[in-house]
Every structure is written in C-alpha cells, then in structure tokens.
C-alpha cells in the first residue's frame, strides 16, 4: 500500500516536472527567437520592451510562428525525457547536473548561433534594411546574385585564391616540417622563429606588406637588385594597384589582348597575387606545426626498413611520409579552403576590393552590401550571398573529403 502510494506520487512528481520542463524549455527557446526576430530597428522600436514586442507582432509573426512550432516540439521532447528520468534519483541528478554544466554553452549558442542563423535564413528571402519592415522577395536575391558582376568577380577571385594558395601553403608547410623534423640542435628555436609571423594579427602583417609593396618599397628594391645582377632593368611595380591579370601578362607577348569585358579570362591580378603571397607567409607556419606533430607519429621503423631495402631519401618521402600524412593533408587542405574562401581583413586594409574589382571577395562584398558602404543597405541580399558562400564551402569540403580521405583507412 505504501509502495503504491509512493509510486503514484512519484508519477505525479514526474508529470509535474515534465510540464514544468516543457514550459521552461519553450520559454528558453523562444526568448532568443524573439530577440532575433526580423523587425525594424531604430530608437523608436527599441524604446522599451513593450514597443519592441508590439513591433514583433506587427512585422515578424510569420517568423515567430514558424519557429515556435519547432520550439514547441523540442520542448515536448525535453518534457518526455524529464518525465522518464525523474523517477530514479540518480538519473535525475545526472540529468540536472549535465545540463547545468552545459548551461553557459547552451544559452550562448541558442542566442548567438541558432537564433542568429534562423534570422539569417529568414531575411535571405526578404528585402531588409533596418529602417523598414522586411518585405518578402522569395528567391530574387539569389537570382540577382548570379547576375551581379561584383559577386561573380568576387567568386572568380576567391576561387583563384583557393586554387593557388591552398596547395602552395600545404606544400610549403610539409617542406618546412620535413626540414625541421630530424633531430638537430636549435630545432625548437627555428620552430619558434618560423611560427612567429602566424602569431601577429592580419592587420599588422597587411600594413607591413602594404608598406613593403610600395613603389618605393623594399620588394621593388629586392627585384631591382637581384635582376640587376643579371643585367635586367627592373621597372618598379605598384604592386597593390596593378590590375593586370596573370594570364593577360602571359599571352601579351603573343599579341593576344584580352578585353575588359572578358575579365574572367584574365586570371588573378598582380595585386591579388601580392596578397596571396603575403597570406602564405602567415598561414604556412601554422600548418607546418601540425605537420611536425604528425611526422612524429610516423614510426621510424618504416624508414629503417625502407633504407635497408635500398630506398633513397626522396623515395622514402614520396612512398612513406606523404601517404602517412594523408589525413593531416586533408585537414590542412580543408581548413585552408574554408579560410581562403572567406578572406576579408587583407582586402579591407590593402586594396578595398580594387583595382578594378580584382581583389573583391564575397565576405568583403557582404560587408559592403549589408552596411550600405557602396549603395543602399541591403541586409537581405547580403544574407543570401552569405548562404551561397556557405553552400560553396560545404561543397568544396565535401568533395575534398571524398577524394582525399579515400585512402586513409588503409593505414589504421
């Protein structure tokens, strides 16, 4: 009898806890949603909580409605879980403890990641500047993107960038790591010196290089001194303002002139390649460190066996080192791609997208469109561009994993 009474009260407790959880989780989920609702901004709306909520009711109800369904579902699941775990005191404590420790992470992520992305998804289909309510435009942003020269050129630039920079920095990183790998004196010293450029901010590196790239700068001096040794007269190049494309320069001696209407045939410009070079400076050492660590994991016995069989150092590199490094190479290439496709700082500081748009990048364009730096504020359009970029990144990394990861299972 006592046992039955206890069971009943346990069950009621569990049900009460479930209901409380549902309400709590629903509220916790809805608050970031409301915060992120696409409404007008500005001091009138934000004057107080009630004016803001009134504004939400006026302009953002479809958004709030759609998301609240998802929130209710999640809250329901949470409630059911709580109901199941409530009976057993130990499991109940484990549940509460787990989520208590996760609380900072969950709250911050809900507000600043989940809510923000839902907002971004919504306004990508709307015309939105903060001063007027959002207007639904459907897919027109996405269609417009692929017709806008700036965006196409930005994609073109950033694809060349990824194509040239990623393999180069990977190869350089491997070379440096192999060079540093054997036991030698001052190894730690060299490793530290090599890594130093990666430690400073991109702003510092960019400013220093803009100065070095001046027409009166050290890089022109270097070229004129070294080429002067072979008798070539070097004309100083204004590196960061030179819009001539690589392919354009290569075919020029053959009399082929690529008109500016077909800018996409010209290849990366000199200014763009200057920025590529500058960036490899900072990224190669970071990846070198990863390769160094990976090289330590390769069992020396493999090399010994190979040299007993008469393999030269070169053969050992190609047949042992590189295959064993494959997973790290994949990681470095994926990280490199994600990084290169989103380059911004250097462009903002050094060239502002010029000359002739040859250093424009998607993130720079998103920045300009969203904040209205080169025209009206178009946050919806910028959000659409951001999603196109995200899809591009996903596709790239997926393909890379397919092709490079294929062989890595063999070695474990």
Partner 1 sequence: MTVTTQPVAPPRTRALRRPASFYIREIIRYALLIGIGVILFAPFILAAIGSFKTDAEIIAYPPKFFPERWLVENWVKVWNTDFGEGATFPRWLFNTAFLAVTTALLKVVGCSMAAYAFSRLRFPGRDLVFNFMLGTMMIPGAVTLIPAYVLMGKLKLLNTFWSLILPGIVDAGAIFMLTQFFKTIPRDLEEAAHIDGAGLFRIYSNVILPLSRPALLTVFILQFQAMWNNFLTPLLYLDAPRMWVLNVALSVFKQQYKAQWNLTLVGAMFNAIPVLVLFFFFSKYYIEGVSYAGIKG
Ranges within 267-326 binding partner 1 (CB under 8 A): 281, 285-286, 289-290, 292-294, 297
- Kindly tell me which residue out of 97, 143, 227, 250 binds partner 1, with binding defined by CB under 8 A: 97
Does position 393 interact with partner 1 (CB under 8 A)? The reply is yes
- Give the Å distances, CA to CA, from 307 to 180, 181, 184, 304: 20, 18, 20, 5
DSSP state of 126: E
Footprint of partner 1 on 205-234 (CB under 8 A): 205, 207-212, 214-218, 220-221, 224
Q: Which of 19, 20, 23, 106 binds partner 1 (CB under 8 A)?
A: 106
- What span, in angstroms and rounded, lies between the C-alpha atoms of 273 and 393? 22
Q: How many Cβ atoms are within 10 Å of 237's Cβ, its own excluded?
A: 17
* 326-341 helix and 270-296 helix, angle to the nearest 10 degrees: 150
Count CB-CB contacts under 10 A for residue 204: 12
| Binding residues for partner 1 restricted to 338-377, rule: CB under 8 A | 338, 341-342, 344-345, 348-349, 362-363, 366-367, 370
Return the residue of 112, 131, 146, 411 that touches partner 1, per CB under 8 A: 112
Q: How far is the CB of 12 from partner 1 (least distance, A)?
A: 21
User: In the bound complex, what is the minimum distance in angstroms from residue 255's beta carbon to partner 1?
Assistant: 33
For CA atoms 313, 318, 319, 323, give the dihedral sign.
Answer: positive
Site membership for partner 1, residue 382 (CB under 8 A): yes
Among 26, 59, 79, 115, binds partner 1 (CB under 8 A): 115
Determine if 47 is a binding residue for partner 1 (CB under 8 A).
no
- CB nearer partner 1, residue 164 or residue 383: 383
Residue 22 contacts partner 1 per CB under 8 A: no
* 108 in contact with partner 1 (CB under 8 A): yes
Q: Is 202 in the site for partner 1 (CB under 8 A)?
A: yes
* Closest approach of partner 1 to the CB of residue 349, in Å: 6
Of 349 and 356, nearer to partner 1 (C-beta) is: 349
Largest CA distance in the chain: 107
3-state secondary structure of 217: coil
Q: Is 213 helix (H, G, I), strand (E, B) or coil?
A: coil
**Cβ-contact 343, 104 below 8 angstroms:** no
Q: Which two tokens stand for residue 118?
A: 């839902």
Which segments of 298-378 does DSSP mark as H helices, in order?
A: 300-308, 313-316, 322-324, 326-341, 345-346, 362-371
- Phi first, then psi, for residue 352 (nearest 5°) are 50, 40
Query: Site for partner 1 (CB under 8 A): which residue of 35, 159, 246, 251?
Result: 35
Q: Which of 101, 131, 136, 411 binds partner 1 (CB under 8 A)?
A: 101
- Looking at the Cβ atoms of 158 and 164, the one nearer to partner 1 is 158
């Amino acid at each position: 009898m006592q046992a039955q009474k206890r069971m009943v009260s346990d069950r009621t407790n569990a049900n009460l806890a479930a209901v409380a959880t549902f309400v709590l989780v629903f509220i916790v989920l809805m608050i970031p949603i409301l915060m992120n609702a696409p409404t007008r901004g500005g001091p009138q709306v934000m004057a107080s909580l009630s004016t803001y909520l009134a504004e939400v009711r006026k302009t953002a109800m479809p958004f709030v409605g759609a998301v609240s369904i998802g929130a209710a579902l999640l809250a329901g699941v949470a409630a059911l879980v709580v109901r199941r775990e409530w009976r057993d005191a130990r499991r109940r404590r484990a549940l509460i403890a787990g989520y208590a420790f996760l609380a900072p992470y969950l709250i911050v992520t809900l507000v600043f990641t989940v809510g923000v992305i839902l907002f971004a998804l919504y306004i990508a289909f709307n015309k939105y500047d903060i001063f007027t309510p959002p207007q639904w435009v459907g897919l027109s942003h996405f269609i417009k993107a692929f017709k806008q020269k700036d965006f196409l050129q930005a994609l073109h630039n950033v694809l060349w960038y990824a194509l040239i920079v990623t393999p180069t920095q990977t190869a350089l990183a491997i070379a440096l790591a192999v060079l540093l790998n054997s036991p030698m004196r001052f190894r730690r010293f060299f490793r530290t010196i090599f890594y130093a450029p990666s430690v400073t901010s991109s702003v510092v590196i960019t400013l220093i290089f803009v100065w070095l790239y001046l027409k009166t700068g050290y890089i022109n001096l270097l070229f004129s001194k070294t080429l002067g040794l072979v008798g070539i007269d070097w004309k100083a190049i204004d590196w960061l303002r030179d819009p001539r494309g690589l392919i354009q320069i290569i075919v020029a001696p053959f009399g082929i002139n690529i008109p500016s209407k077909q800018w996409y045939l010209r290849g990366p410009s000199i200014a763009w390649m200057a920025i590529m070079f500058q960036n490899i400076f900072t990224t190669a050492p970071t990846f070198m460190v990863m390769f160094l660590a990976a090289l330590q994991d390769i069992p020396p016995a493999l090399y010994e066996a190979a040299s007993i069989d008469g393999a030269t150092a070169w053969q050992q590199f190609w047949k042992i080192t590189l295959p064993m490094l494959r997973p790290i190479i994949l990681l470095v290439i994926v990280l490199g791609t994600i990084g290169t496709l989103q380059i911004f700082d250097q462009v903002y500081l050094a060239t502002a997208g010029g000359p002739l748009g040859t250093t424009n990048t998607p993130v720079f364009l998103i920045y300009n469109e969203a904040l209205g730096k080169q025209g009206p504020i178009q946050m919806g359009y910028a959000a659409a561009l951001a999603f196109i970029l995200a899809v591009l990144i996903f596709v790239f990394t997926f393909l890379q994993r397919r092709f490079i990861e294929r062989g890595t299972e063999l070695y474990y």
